[in-house]
Amino acid sequence: MHDIRTIRENPADFDAALKRRGTAPISSTILKIDQERRVKITNAEAALADRNAASKMVGAAKASGNDLEFERLRKLVSDKKTEITVLEEAAKEIDSQLTNILLTIPNLPHEDVPFGTDEKDNIEIYKWGILPKFDFDAAEHFDIKSVSRGMDFETAAKISGSRFVILSGAIARIHRALSQLMLDVHTTENNLVEVNIPVLVRDEAMLGTGQLPKFSDDSYQTTNGWWLIPTAEVALTNIVADTTSDEDALPRRYVAHSLCFRSEAGSAGRDTSGMLRQHQFEKVEMVSIVKPEDSDAELDRMTNCAQGILERLELAYRTVKLCTGDMGFGARRTNDIEVWLPGQNAYREISSCSTCGDFQSRRMNARFKRIGEKKPEFVHTLNGSGLAVGRCLIAVLENGQQSDGSINLPKALHQYIGGKTKIEVDGSLV
């Protein structure tokens, strides 16, 4: 959420930053509502001062025997009390209106974010690995012979509908091994703290990270009001909601492996084949809570953590800096990591690492206090996939495929699958 004081002081700059994101200027509307709210508050304070002054004079009028003045003052106190109540209620209503508007405005992009309208305007900043060469036409993951036995879309559709999959046998084992590898690397080498989180959260948690109120259609809500998390970012970031951390307790770096649920509203017709875009999927998510001056360096660190997993798996990738029109709602700056998928002959997103500045911490009231200072400040929050497990599985299968339909597996996985190195055509691990 945005600081109203910043909008008051620099309305033109605020609108200019929104324009870079393709959002219409709104500062004049905000400031008009803010002015109306401030007038109500000022009038309420003036009425309170009048009531207090009259209250002090009531006793003197009674003591002097001035009954007319006593009655006048007593009525004035009563009228002012009613006036104060009306003004405070009006201010509260206007304040709620202002808050609701501020909650729907996206984060302002960092000044170095490239201007653009969609993914075509993103800028490649790094590339790693050599693209595999095949002497046959590379298949997509679901068409590889050795995969078909362990990836069942038809039965999943019978049970749950479209965009679900049942993994079994070697494919399920490799999927599990990938998440284990990611957690081991992040906790033992990248110094992230592993957290096992709830996948059901309250409105306040979704509001804090920016999924509500604007994107409710993108998530699933239970009949009793809980939300199924679209990403572990929601639960991990809200660990610090309504808290004030000591400066020496930062940074706080978390990682969690969880189920994620997304309705995929508005994505009809996109990536409907295979398991690239599912309603239910697994992800290893990273979240950092840092001091403001550390957030830019932390984004680089988080991006490197995600890239390191792909390098360990010998998967070629590229990293792009997202343009203003392609960034998520809460992001200030985002690096997307795209892994090479031979079956699609294209790079596809497998991780998105973002710094949100104080955008989320203002929504969830997450602060820290510097040593020797009395006034707390808002922390900066960051999040990133480290990685999307299903998409990583797709990349391992497609990049390791052989002409006979078998799959060679990357060395980093061998220790997690009992020393096995390959999926045979019949789907067995050997």
- The CA-CA-CA angle for residues 326, 328, 331, to 5°, reads 115
Query: How far is 82 from 79, CA to CA, in rounded Å?
Result: 5
* pLDDT for the residue numbered 269: 62
Q: In this predicted model, what pLDDT tens digit does every residue of 290-309 receive, in sequence order?
A: 999 999 999 999 999 999 99
The distance from CA 106 to its chain's CA centroid, rounded to whole angstroms, is 12
* pLDDT for the residue numbered 270: 66
Q: In this predicted model, what pLDDT tens digit does every residue of 377-407 receive, in sequence order?
A: 999 999 999 999 999 999 999 999 999 999 9
> Which two structure tokens, joined as six digits, stand for 269?
């017709």
- Cis (ω within 30 of 0) for the bond into 251? yes
Report CA-CA distances (Å) from 387 to 3, 343, 392, 430. Answer: 33, 20, 7, 26
* pLDDT for the residue numbered 267: 62
Ranges of each domain in the chain: 4-102, 119-423
* pLDDT for the residue numbered 78: 87
Q: In this predicted model, what pLDDT tens digit does every residue of 106-127 receive, in sequence order?
A: 999 999 999 999 999 999 999 9
Instruction: For the chain, give the mean pLDDT.
Output: 95
Q: Are 8 and 37 in contact (CB under 8 A)?
A: no
Query: How far is 379 from 366, CA to CA, in rounded Å?
Result: 6
Angle between the 389-400 and 169-188 helix axes, to the nearest 10 degrees?
120
The residue type of 25 is: P
Q: In this predicted model, what pLDDT tens digit does every residue of 297-347 receive, in sequence order?
A: 999 999 999 999 999 999 999 999 999 999 999 999 999 999 999 999 999
| Mean pLDDT along residues 233-248 | 98
Task: State yes or no: pLDDT of 67 exceeds 80.
Answer: no
Angle between the 11-20 and 27-64 helix axes, to the nearest 10 degrees?
140
User: Which of 287, 257, 231, 233 is closest to 175 using CA atoms?
Assistant: 257
Q: Are 253 and 192 in contact (CB under 8 A)?
A: yes
Confidence of residue 5 (pLDDT cuts 50, 70, 90): very high
Q: Which CATH number fits domain 119-423: 2.160.10.10, 3.40.50.170, 3.30.200.20, 3.30.930.10?
A: 3.30.930.10
The distance from CA 69 to its chain's CA centroid, rounded to whole angstroms, is 62
Identify the CATH class of 4-102: mainly alpha
| pTM across the whole model | 0.93
Exposed e or buried b per residue across 177-216, where buried means at least 16 C-beta atoms within 10 angstroms of its C-beta: bbbbbbbebbeeebebeebebeebbeeebbbbbbbbeebe
Task: State yes or no: pLDDT of 75 exceeds 90.
Answer: no
Query: Which residues are within 8 A (CB) of 70 and not within 5 positions of it... i.e. 6 or more apart?
Result: 58, 61, 62
Query: How far is 116 from 148, CA to CA, in rounded Å?
Result: 40
